[in-house]
Amino acid sequence: MSAKHTSETPAGKTKKFGKGERQIPHHSQKAKKYYPAEDEVKPRKVRKTIHPAKPRATLQPGTILILLAGRFRGKRVILLKHLPQGILLVTGPFKVNGVPLRRVNARYVIATSAKVDLKGIDSKTVEKVGGEGYFAREKKENKKGEEAFFKQGENAEKKPVASARASDQKAVDKALLSNIKNEPHLLEYLRSSFSLRKGDRPHEMKW
């Protein structure tokens, strides 16, 4: 019994050239004559998997942190909540050292041994501030034409603080301020800024 041809691809032809033979593929197997003028964009294969960030054991809510980067570097702040991807929600409080409710990266903070009691804090406001989109920037209207050209050299206008953010700041800081005042020297400690001087050895310091 002869074996049946089960391959899906059609067979080519065999041509003889003198003493030799040459296999000519089927027309469906031949290379394309025309190619697209531009390269086709292929999505990159992401092999890395995103793992949930593991917070350090020292980063507990209520811990006083020292900021190491950003606009408020050197300031002492209070940790309120852990956010996804290693982000922390902190506050100064604003009345004490001028640091508002903001997000900071956990890599750029030093956790101290000092803590503030978070008893009485408005948990609903903290959840609201820690939600997605709270810190999203508002879209600006792009000015075009002569008006935009003549306003290039002018000083940038100061952004007015939204009334909702100001009320959220007051609601969070109200309970914190009363708890801070109950602890001796804690108010002065939060007001002071951290800095290193010549000869200081941070690896030998006790935080």
pLDDT single digits (tens) 101-141:
999 999 999 999 999 999 988 888 999 888 888 888 776 66
Assess contact for 106 and 53: CB atoms under 8 A. Answer: yes
Highest mean pLDDT among 2-6, 36-40, 121-125: 121-125
C-alpha distances in Å from residue 107, one per residue of 46, 51, 54, 57, 59: 24, 16, 12, 13, 11
Separation between Cα atoms, residue 193 and residue 76, nearest integer Å = 7
Express each pLDDT in 130-159 by its tens digit. 888 888 877 666 656 666 666 666 665 666
Instruction: Read off the pLDDT band of 24 (50, 70, 90).
Output: confident
Question: What rounded mean pLDDT belongs to the chain?
Answer: 82
Q: Give, rounded to a whole angstrom, the gap between the first and last alpha carbons of the chain.
A: 87
Q: Which residue has the tokens 């000015």?
A: 143
Q: Which stretches of the chain are DSSP H helices?
A: 94-97, 123-130, 146-150, 163-182, 186-191
Query: For residues 172 and 118, what is the distance between their CA atoms, to the nearest angstrom?
Result: 10
Per-residue pLDDT at 9 exceeds 60: no
pLDDT at 60: 93
90 pLDDT above the threshold of 90 = yes
Q: Which of 15-19, 69-73, 103-107, 199-203 has the lowest mean pLDDT?
A: 15-19
Strands (E) across the chain are located at: 13-17, 20-24, 63-67, 76-83, 87-91, 102-105, 109-115
**Alpha carbons 161 and 186: distance in angstroms, whole number:** 28
What value does the mean pLDDT take over residues 37-62? 83
Q: Higher-confidence residue: 175 or 207?
A: 175
The model's confidence at residue 68, banded by pLDDT at 50, 70 and 90, is very high
Q: What is the mean pLDDT of residues 46-52?
A: 78
Sequence-separated (6 or more) residues with CB below 8 Å from residue 204: none
Residue 57 in contact with residue 44, Cβ under 8 Å?
no
What does the alpha-carbon distance between residue 64 and residue 207 come to, in Å, rounded to a whole number? 10
Give me the pLDDT at residue 153, please. 61
pLDDT at 45: 81
Average pLDDT over residues 59-74: 93
Highest mean pLDDT among 10-24, 158-172, 180-194: 180-194
pLDDT at 6 (0 to 100): 46
